[in-house]
């Protein structure tokens, strides 16, 4: 069963900007995912899960346990 990837927050430690990365599928995720700042080119970026996706995951887990 395919699980849609959860959006992630990419934070640049060099310029301090952050961006939310929401891949459309697992396959695209692997190709599109680059740990590089799109503003200053710094890498690697700090990756953290969005709080919203945690809620989504909790909801999904509840659904699966039912
Ligand atoms: Zn940057």
Q: In the numeric block, which tokens belong to residue 3?
A: 């699980």
Question: How many angstroms does the Cα of residue 10 sit away from the middle of ligand 1?
Answer: 10
- Neighbouring CB atoms inside 10 A of 18's CB total 14
Task: Kindly list the protein residues that place their beta carbon closer than 5 angstroms to ligand 1, a single-atom ion.
Answer: 12, 14-15, 37, 39-40, 42
pTM: 0.54
Q: How far is CA 15 from CA 19, 44, 63, in A?
A: 12, 12, 40
Res 31: pLDDT: 47
Residues 62 and 66: their CA atoms lie apart, in Å, by 6
Q: What is the DSSP letter of 25?
A: S
19 near 40, Cβ under 8 Å? Answer: no
Confidence band of 16 (pLDDT split at 50, 70, 90): very high
What would the pLDDT profile of 38-66 be if each residue is shown by its tens digit? 899 998 888 887 666 566 667 777 888 77
Question: How many angstroms does the Cα of residue 19 sit away from the middle of ligand 1?
Answer: 10
What would the pLDDT profile of 28-41 be if each residue is shown by its tens digit? 554 455 678 889 99
Question: How many angstroms does the Cα of residue 37 sit away from the middle of ligand 1?
Answer: 5
């Amino acid at each position: 069963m395919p699980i849609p990837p959860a959006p992630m927050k990419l934070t640049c430690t060099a310029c301090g900007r952050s961006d939310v990365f929401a891949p459309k599928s697992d396959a695209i995720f692997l190709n599109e995912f680059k740990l590089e700042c799109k503003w200053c080119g710094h890498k690697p970026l700090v990756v953290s899960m969005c709080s919203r996706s945690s809620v989504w995951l909790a909801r999904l887990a509840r659904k699966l346990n039912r």
